[in-house]
Amino acid sequence: MNYPLQALSLRDLLGEEFQFPHEIAGQPSKASDFAGLTVSSFVTTDNVNLAYWEAGSGKPLVFIPGWSANGAMYFHLMQLLSQHYHVYVLDVRNQGLSEKAAFGNRIARYAMDVKEFAEHLDLTEADYCGWSMGASVMWAYIDLFGTRGVRTLTIIDQAPSIYCHADWTEQERLDAGAFTTSPERMIASYTGGTTNMLISQTRVLERAVDVSSPYFHNVLSLVQAVVRDDMAFTGQVLFDHTTNDWRDVISTKIDVPTAIFTGEYSDWLHSQHWMNSVIEGSQLHVYTKAENGDHFLAFKNPEKFAADLRGFLDNA
């Protein structure tokens, strides 16, 4: 791919039309139906090209995807939310359409990338939403730069600490949402696509392959058509991501309106309640199993998530 990208349509990017496997009322049935969606890129100060997806107008709303995720997963969400906001999704380095780089693969550098992204767009203030590892990126951002420029913060289902220290009490583990004692084995299982509960006490991969939601099936199909990830690069950030503990940032440094989204299927539901208890005035949204309340709730149930997010943002 040639960089920098300058507001390419999805059809131009693909070189052909993309037809979704499911027709959903009120949603595009093919890529070109979302005419306002474009993909561009910018160059970071350490010379990495980062792609971003953009649609809509109005107040800026910035999404930071989770590990191995990208803007294609946000297609339906962007279509819904771009009717009310200027929506951006940043493909972090080594993910999606962004450049592969064997350096800077630390959550702190990803946070710097978010800062440079905002500067590239001239955003003095924006609403930020971090999902999974994207939430950790936002916690790192706040740890490094404070909440200046962050109007609101939305967190979707991320454990404050993935790694459980041997001397922690069970209450500490639950508050942190920790679910592994072996980062290396967990990383090997994730990059290899298989895991078990002795290595990583989570069913997130099981929920990832549940495509009973037509919205989720649609965006995963688009991801397969658009993105070619390489786990040799994607996996490089996982050790740093796994071994960070963000509880001090969460409990002392978040001073903006905050919404937390999780679900009954979440393996770290207790930690989301803990976050809600320590972030003053925060909102907690717990989706039921019938509402696709798992790690992928925003993509499996985008109509509800978009409505709930709008309710939070418009009243913040």
Mean pLDDT of 118-135: 98
pLDDT of residue 200: 63
Mean pLDDT of 54-80: 97
CATH code, domain with 211: 3.40.50.1820
76 located within any domain: yes
Mean pLDDT of the chain: 94
At what angle are helices 133-145 and 107-121 packed, to 10 degrees? Answer: 80
1 located within any domain: no
156 located within any domain: yes
78 located within any domain: yes
pLDDT of residue 188: 81
pLDDT of residue 187: 81
Question: Is the Cα dihedral 273, 156, 245, 140 positive or negative?
Answer: negative
Residue among 165, 187, 203, 296 at smallest CA distance from 237 = 187
Residue 165 DSSP code: P
| Cβ atoms of 77 and 304 closer than 8 Å | no
| Cβ atoms of 33 and 227 closer than 8 Å | no
Mean pLDDT of 30-46: 95
Mean pLDDT of 195-223: 82
Q: Any long-range contacts for 277-285 (C-beta under 8 Å, 24+ apart)? A: 278/250, 278/251, 279/250, 279/251, 279/254, 280/255, 281/257, 282/254, 282/257, 282/258, 283/258, 283/259, 283/312, 284/259, 284/260, 285/259, 285/260, 285/261
| pLDDT of residue 96 exceeding 80 | yes
User: What tokens were used for 16?
Assistant: 């052909």
Mean pLDDT of 153-163: 97
User: What tokens were used for 228?
Assistant: 């070619």
| pLDDT of residue 6 exceeding 70 | yes
Mean pLDDT of 131-156: 98
- Higher pLDDT residue, 158 or 202? 158
Containing structural domain, residue 259: 8-315
3 located within any domain: no
| pLDDT of residue 1 exceeding 60 | no
- Higher pLDDT residue, 47 or 185? 47
pLDDT of residue 190: 76
pLDDT of residue 209: 84
pLDDT of residue 198: 58
Q: Partners of 38 in the beta sheet? A: 9, 54
| Cβ atoms of 196 and 189 closer than 8 Å | yes
- Higher pLDDT residue, 190 or 257? 257
Phi, psi of 151 (to 5 degrees): -70, -45
pLDDT in tens, 163-203: 999 999 999 999 999 988 888 888 887 777 666 655 666 67
| pLDDT of residue 140 exceeding 80 | yes
pLDDT of residue 193: 63
Helix (H), strand (E) at residue 220: helix 214-226
pLDDT of residue 197: 58
Instruction: For residues 134 and 209, give the distance between their C-alpha atoms in angstroms, rounded to a whole number.
Output: 20
Cα-Cα-Cα-Cα dihedral of 275, 314, 296, 41, to 10°?
-110
Give residue 28's pLDDT band: very low, low, confident or very high (50, 70, 90). Answer: very high
Mean pLDDT of 266-287: 97
Instruction: For residues 132 and 134, give the distance between their C-alpha atoms in angstroms, rounded to a whole number.
Output: 5
Cα-Cα-Cα-Cα dihedral of 10, 132, 56, 30, to 10°?
30
pLDDT of residue 194: 64
Q: What is the pTM of this model?
A: 0.95
162 located within any domain: yes
Give residue 56's pLDDT band: very low, low, confident or very high (50, 70, 90). Answer: very high
Work out how many domains the chain is built from and give that number. Answer: 1
pLDDT of residue 5: 74
| pLDDT of residue 159 exceeding 70 | yes
**% of the chain exceeding 90 in pLDDT:** 84
Q: How many CA atoms lie within 13 A of 140 on its CB side?
A: 22
